[in-house]
Structure 1
Amino acid sequence: MGHGGDVIAELTSDHREVDELFARIERTVPGDAERKRLADRLTIELVRHSVAEEQYLYPAVRRHLSDGETLADKEIADHVRVEELLKALEGVDAGNLDFNHLIVKLRTEVYAHIKDEEGRLFVELRAACPQADLEELGEKVRTAKKVAPTRPHPGAPRTPPGNKLLAPGAGLVDRARDFVTGRGK
């Protein structure tokens, strides 16, 4: 992740990357270790994306949209459900029947979230927010993704300032664990 452009272009590109990872998982034979590797990659991308949205996108939604509080709260609730599924998936081997069940539930939640963001939230934000602000938010989101956690932390703070203070530390620990285990390669 780190595609360039304003915040909406950046996050939409992330969505397409997630679509492709789900498609690759679905094309891989059930039980194959490659499915677990792809699920780990999907987890890394979803967590980094979610953290960046919570740090920068949703505060902008709250500021710029008349129903921003409600929209941001709904999107954060979606993230919590996704992270809970990611946490459950983390401990399941690709050969376990629960793996497939969790992937289907995860895909359903993520696709609904993407549809809502792209169909409503991004459209409204583009209409209400100056382009220069959207560009600045794109840079902030790209920077946040570089230091964000790579593993699900469903109980972590979801709003500033807590999420901005704790996410980089959790991200450092997660990346160290990933390096030692080879996860995400």
Structure 2
Amino acid sequence: MSIPLPPLPSVPGDADWKPAGEEVVKVLSEEHRRITSLCGRLTDSDVDAVERARTAEVVIATVTRHLSAEEQYVYPAVAGTLEDGRSIADREIAEDREILLTLQSFSSTKPGDADFDRLATALCGQLQRHTEAATGELLPGLREIASEAELIRLGNRVQVAEEAAPTRPHPGTPATPPWNKVVDPAVAVVDKVLDVVTRRPTYPSDL
């Protein structure tokens, strides 16, 4: 069975041809490990307040980009490929909305606030569940069915989508194609202007 990829550029007819890039399973697995590491830093009370505040901004931006790309490309592939894929994708989209709502509340706090530690712990718990669902169900299912070339092409699309994704949570925006592919990049323009103006850190490399 072939994975129902979103519209992508045409490829050579050679069956042995393999595109450049990393397959989606590796891309997302590395991102999940990175997010888990950031959560460890975020919830570590031994990290000083300034660095925890900067880490919080990076977590918010990283997770927002990650969820946007998954909703644009990964969940549609899951819905069209895996057994009971539609209900799995719907479940993950609903969980994503809850994560975005937590991110939205968390973004208005800072270390020392009464809600900062509570929301940081709640957020990291939600992200742990998200990672477990991906590593235990979604990604193994895609790898079992899709070809290596398909997985690489999907990984490429996820990475491109992340670069054009919002860096702040917008839980009210569309969560499914085609509208999220239109709205997310448009919203991202405003987010990125604000990031530049405020010199906000948005990548782990900024820490």
After TM superposition, the score normalised by the length of structure 1 is 0.94
Q: Report what 2:63 is aligned to.
A: 46
Q: Report what 1:137 is aligned to.
A: 154
Q: Does residue 88 of structure 2 align to residue 71 of structure 1?
A: yes
Amino acid at match of 1:161: P
Match of 1:109 among 106, 119, 126: 126
Q: Report what 1:123 is aligned to.
A: 140
Contact 1:31 1:95 in 2 (8 A): no
Match of 2:169 among 131, 152, 157: 152
Q: Distance in 1 between matches of 2:45 and 2:27?
A: 27
- Secondary structure in structure 1 of the residue aligned to 2:175: coil
Match of 1:167 among 174, 184, 196: 184
Structure 1, unmatched stretches of 5+, are none
Amino acid at match of 2:166: P
Q: Distance in 2 between matches of 1:85 and 1:33?
A: 21
Q: Distance in 2 between matches of 1:65 and 1:116?
A: 14
Contact 2:73 2:157 in 1 (8 A): yes
Structure 1: 4+ residue segments shifted above 6 A = none
CA RMSD between the two structures: 1.3
Determine which structure has the larger helix proportion and give its number. 1
Structure 2, unmatched stretches of 5+, are 1-20
Q: Report what 1:34 is aligned to.
A: 51
How many residues are aligned here?
Answer: 182
Contact 2:65 2:165 in 1 (8 A): yes
